[in-house]
Chains A and B, each alone.
Chain A
Amino acid sequence: MSEATTEPAMGRFLANLREIPKTFRESFVRGGAPTTDRTRSSFVFGNVFLHLHAVRTHRWSLRWSTTAGLGIVSVAAFLITLITGVLLMFYYKPYPDAAYVSIKDIHFVVPTGRFIRNIHRWAANVMVVAVLLHMARVFFTGAYRKPREFNWLVGMGLLVITLGLSFTGYLLPWDQLAYWAITIGANIAQSPQEVTDALKITQYFDPGGMQRLLLLGSSDVGEEALIRFFLLHVMILPLALVALLGVHMWRVRKDGGIARPDDADARLGPPPADTYPVFTEAPQKTYQIATIVKGRTPAVGKGPENTVPSMPHLFYAEMGVAMLTVLVCVALALVSDAPLKELANPNVPENPAKAPWYFLGLQELVAYSAFMGGIGIPSIVLIGLGLIPYLDREKEGTGLWFGGPGGVPLVILSTVYGFGTALALEAFAIRFGWIRQWWPDVPQLVITALNPGTVLTALYAGFSIWAVKKWGSTRAGALALFTCFLCGFILLTIVGEHFRGPNWVFYWSPSEWPGH
């Protein structure tokens, strides 16, 4: 002590030195350990990663049946691909032939390389599935409605980027599978020429050729294309995805959390004994700021706030789902190796050359018209999806599965109709062929306009209009249309995946393919 008085600065120094563990912890976590509601709240909003969440979460949102955790599955799968992808970049060389060999090295000699590549591949597939299911969940629970219209559009952007990430990753191994899938993909990008050629204006206006050139950087799939796809895969698309994902999650919070029905509190019943939800008394809410700030305060005026602290309730839920996702990806990675066929050979096409599974539905349509299957119908579908929240502005059924007019019976009917028409049309086209087989001289424009894809789209649209009239509700129309397209997508994907063999000929099973 005497030292401290004689040399106060030195004494402070020693005391500070002793207290480093404590002061470091305090500087790291603000507000102390999350043991009380107050410290938990500060733990959430004081943390750069956690503060995307609200401090408190409604009990409705935490029910497993509300979201099935699909959004978190998507994010978790993305994070897994991000981590494993960065690891793979230690060894991957984005140059033709060298790329293939480097993947072989990853497979055979890089420590844990094969496992990590398998996880990357499976997490990518899980992500595509999860994103699609997440969208279906949001649609069927009517969660796209006001005030969440814009977030629905952001989500569609995320879907497109997810598919783009998956597709660009497809080329990187530079094997036969990759090479020919990308060749087909690039030609789909070029397919507006089908229309411009038919109109004889390609030499003046050629958006298709421009798209293909932009994508490949050359007239063929070669080193330029590989570098571009690599850049898209590891830089542009992930950055875009992270940015949009931030917006998406932020909007979830700003739009009032997960959509729930107005009578959610009544449906939830009394809280379990071990939770202590807060019942905010409505008059205690201050209105002054809310009236000044333009916008919505969704909690206001809705009676008791049936919420629990996000930390730890939401935290356990999210971490649990994330770890479950990891578990699934790791298990799949252990069971099945990511494919790697022969080195890309520009002279010998794969037969059949199949796109990644989620594009096989489109490839099935492309077999009739490249433009309609590859660009026309996907554009129609995307535009249609984007318009749904702006066309369906009803309130009934928000937050409930298959909620709204029509409900479950309409969804069942739409499922039957969606599968039935697609199956009938496919069976007809496979059995009897299509226009070109009957009248070989028919102009291409006729086939572009009239092919199984467009016919199916028209049939679905007609059914949807019928549903609007029958139930007198735009929600019914949306339910019918979305369900039909989902069924059509699933059916065409199955046909493309399992029933198409060499030369895109119909086979009952891949074991019947000739020469193999």
Chain B
Amino acid sequence: MTTMSKSSRLDPEPMPRRDFLGLAAMWAMGASAAFALLGMLRLPRAAVLPAPSKKFKVALPESLADGEPFVPAGRSVALFKDKEGVYAVSTVCTHLGCIVKQSADGFACPCHGSEFNKDGTVKKGPAPKALPWLAVTKDGGAFVVDEGKVVDPGTRLA
């Protein structure tokens, strides 16, 4: 291209091969735009979530039979009581997050037909893993369940 003659009226001004100033200006603009874009991309990722605490307090009814699930209103957790203590199993299906319903001998998911035993293990369907067990602690006469904290299956609060 540099060999092209200046005499052509249509191509009288070949771009100088080393236009440091122009390139620096372009790169500076590009860099600031890229940096600004990075800053903007941070905005949609909220620093704090407007969701309430995952911990909640619940009192078990006196009449709750051993091995029967108790689901506190508005929560996706089933609490069980047996001889060894109290434990909580999440009722959020591990497949795609539907809330499983209590069935005759465990839980059934209404969305894609997964079925679980009472201890959360998968019996049938597309669910890839067992329903997680959640941390339970005692506070006075009530129990505190932390939906955000998964514990090993079989962990009970004596």
Contacts and interface: CB of A to CB of B under 8 A. Distances in A.
A56 to B, nearest CB: 11
A38 B1 CA distance: 12
Interface in A298-321: 309, 312, 316, 319-320
B73 interface: no
Nearest to A323: B29
Given A36-B1, A87-B40, A110 B46 contact: yes
B48 A35 contact: no
Interface string A206-229: 000000000000000000000000
A37 B4 CA distance: 12
Interface string A306-348: 0001001000100110010010000000000000000000000
B6 to A, nearest CB: 8
Nearest to A320: B25
A35 B1 contact: yes
A111 B45 contact: yes
A112 B40 contact: yes
B39 interface: yes
A90 interface: yes
B125 interface: no
Contacts of A276: 6, 12-13
A37 B11 CA distance: 5
B83 interface: no
A36 B14 contact: yes
A109 B29 CA distance: 29
A38 B47 contact: no
Contacts of B32: 323, 326
B146 to A, nearest CB: 24
A110 B13 contact: no
A90 B14 contact: no
A112 B44 contact: no
A435 to B, nearest CB: 54
A116 interface: yes
B54 interface: no
B2 to A, nearest CB: 10
B51 interface: no
A320 B28 CA distance: 11
A278 interface: yes
Nearest to A37: B11
B42 interface: yes
A279 to B, nearest CB: 9
B43 A113 contact: yes
Interface string A274-297: 011010000000000000000000
A83 interface: yes
Contacts of A112: 39-40, 42-43
Contacts of B104: none
B40 A83 contact: yes
Contacts of B48: 109
B50 to A, nearest CB: 8
Q: Is the interface of B mostly helix, strand, loop or mixed?
A: loop
Contacts of A326: 32
A34 B15 CA distance: 8
A87 B41 CA distance: 9
Contacts of B6: 276
Contacts of A316: 22, 25
A116 B9 contact: no
A490 to B, nearest CB: 34
Contacts of A90: 43-44
Contacts of A115: 39
A38 B4 CA distance: 12
A309 B10 CA distance: 10
Interface in A61-118: 83, 87, 90, 109-113, 115-116
A273 to B, nearest CB: 12
Nearest to A322: B29
B25 A35 contact: no
A109 B47 contact: yes
A319 B9 CA distance: 27
Which of A35, A115, A278, A312 has most chain B Cβ within 10 Å? A35
A110 B1 contact: no
Contacts of B45: 111
Nearest to A309: B13
Contacts of A109: 46-48
Contact of B12 (A35, A116, A278, A319): A278
Interface string A30-42: 0000111110000
B47 A37 contact: no
Contacts of A323: 29, 32
Contact of B47 (A36, A111, A312): A111
Contact of A110 (B22, B29, B43): B43
A182 B9 CA distance: 60
Nearest to A275: B13
Interface in B1-34: 1, 4, 6, 9-15, 22, 25, 29, 32
Contacts of B25: 316, 319-320
Contacts of B13: 36-37, 275-276, 309
B11 A36 contact: yes
Interface of B: 1, 4, 6, 9-15, 22, 25, 29, 32, 39-40, 42-48
Interface of A: 34-38, 83, 87, 90, 109-113, 115-116, 275-276, 278, 309, 312, 316, 319-320, 323, 326
13 contacts: A36-B13, A37-B10, A87-B43, A110-B43, A110-B46, A111-B45, A111-B47, A112-B39, A112-B42, A116-B43, A275-B13, A312-B15, A316-B25
Please provide the 8 A-B residue pairs with the shortest distance between their CB atoms, ordered closest to farther. Answer: A276-B13, A36-B11, A111-B42, A276-B12, A35-B15, A37-B11, A112-B39, A109-B47
Given A276-B13, A320-B25, 14 more contacts: A35-B14, A35-B15, A37-B10, A38-B11, A110-B46, A111-B46, A111-B47, A112-B40, A276-B12, A309-B13, A312-B22, A316-B22, A319-B29, A323-B32
